[in-house]
Amino acid sequence: MTFQKRREALRSTLSGAVCIRPGSVYDAISIRIAEDIGFEVGMFGGSVASLAVLGDPDIALITLTELAEQMRRMSRAAALPVLVDADHGYGNAMNVRRTVQELETAGAAGLTIEDTLLPQAYGQAKPQLISLEEGVGKMKGALDGRGDPSLVIVARTGAASITSLEDTIVRAKAYEATGVDALFFTGIKAKSELEAIAAATTLPIVLGGAPEAMNDPDYLRGLRVRIALQGHAPIAAATQAVYETLKALREGLPPKELKGLASSELTNKVTREAEVKARLAQLLGL
């Protein structure tokens, strides 16, 4: 599947009538598994990118080059459309422009740009937002950097948990006016907040986490929520599995007695062994 088709598939999800849950992906194997299972969209979060590439917490240490290269690896491995958390765009509006160019080239189907002040300011323990004017400039920079019109640009704000609902709506309307394709909200705690935001805007909504009472797909669908994140459990599960396996081996358990390992059938499937063997026969006569 070409990059354009992946982007068109993501656009189809955003313009559709249902709310989907994306599969959290972070490397070549995880994206293939998500694709094989049938997820419509993959979500490459900033936190999992930092874990997978650096082994560091989500404090904006990863660079654009590292993020784009990991996305490029995933794009090669599978055709699943991926929405990338591009954080703050790695700088000002000009940096955002380049972030879009790099992630577009790397095969992302879409990306989010947020208005959080990153990296964290000296002496400020709580998250902060950049000004509305700078946020608008970043969205404009993202749109200006887009070479493929099918690439999805999503404006993200965490104002609901940092400033106020009123500020959230002001920012959402201003970002919508720039021409972005969707709006991403984090920190929403009540149905009334989501309902007010949906009433004040018109674009498809991506929701980054919400209380259990707001997780009904039919309810979210009625408020134009087309993608609702459900955390990044796969990398947490993988971390636990690796820890338990290495711990058991270190304590002397024979490898053949280990539990929970991928079968040879599953390994062959995710490594596309049948396709590789066919090419070996065709190209190398093996």
Summarize pLDDT for 152-172 with one digit per residue, the tens: 999 999 999 999 999 999 999
Domain boundary among 193, 210, 231: 231
- Please check whether residues 110 and 27 belong to one and the same domain: yes
Domain boundary among 207, 231, 255: 231
b/e for 29-62, b at 16 or more Cβ within 10 A?
A: bbbbbbbeeebbbbbbbbbbbbbbbeeeeeebeb
How far apart CA 45 and CA 25 sit, in angstroms, is 8
- Please check whether residues 258 and 214 belong to one and the same domain: no
- Please check whether residues 157 and 266 belong to one and the same domain: no
Domain boundary among 194, 212, 231: 231
Strands 182-186 and 152-157: parallel
Q: What is the pLDDT of residue 212?
A: 84
Please give the C-alpha separations between residue 222 and each of 13, 17, 185, in angstroms, as whole numbers. 15, 9, 16
Whole-model pTM: value is: 0.96
CATH number of the structural domain spanning residue 76: 3.20.20.60
For 50, list phi and psi in degrees, rounded to 5: -65, -40
Q: What domain range is 38 assigned to?
A: 3-231
- Please check whether residues 92 and 38 belong to one and the same domain: yes
Closest CA to 166 of 192, 142, 143, 202: 192
How far apart CA 35 and CA 40 sit, in angstroms, is 8
Pick out the chain residues at pLDDT < 70: none
How far apart CA 175 and CA 115 sit, in angstroms, is 10
How far apart CA 152 and CA 10 sit, in angstroms, is 8
Q: pLDDT per residue over 57-102, tens digit each? A: 999 999 999 999 999 999 999 999 999 999 999 999 999 999 999 9
Q: What is the pLDDT of residue 248?
A: 97
How far apart CA 74 and CA 8 sit, in angstroms, is 18
- Please check whether residues 146 and 176 belong to one and the same domain: yes
- Please check whether residues 73 and 202 belong to one and the same domain: yes
How far apart CA 181 and CA 112 sit, in angstroms, is 10
- Please check whether residues 129 and 184 belong to one and the same domain: yes
Give the angle 167-173-177 at the CA atoms, nearest 5°: 145
- Please check whether residues 190 and 267 belong to one and the same domain: no
> What are the beta bridge partners of residue 43?
24, 83
Q: What is the pLDDT of residue 55?
A: 97
Judge whether 232 and 24 are in contact, CB under 8 Å: yes
Please give the C-alpha separations between residue 236 and each of 11, 96, 114, 232, in angstroms, as whole numbers. 29, 29, 24, 7
- Please check whether residues 199 and 260 belong to one and the same domain: no
How far apart CA 172 and CA 158 sit, in angstroms, is 10
The helix-helix angle for 233-250 and 46-53 (nearest 10°) equals 30
- Please check whether residues 192 and 268 belong to one and the same domain: no
How far apart CA 60 and CA 14 sit, in angstroms, is 28
- Please check whether residues 198 and 273 belong to one and the same domain: no
Please give the C-alpha separations between residue 200 and each of 178, 179, 222, 275, in angstroms, as whole numbers. 16, 16, 14, 50
- Please check whether residues 152 and 273 belong to one and the same domain: no
Domain count, the chain: 2
Q: What is the pLDDT of residue 114?
A: 98
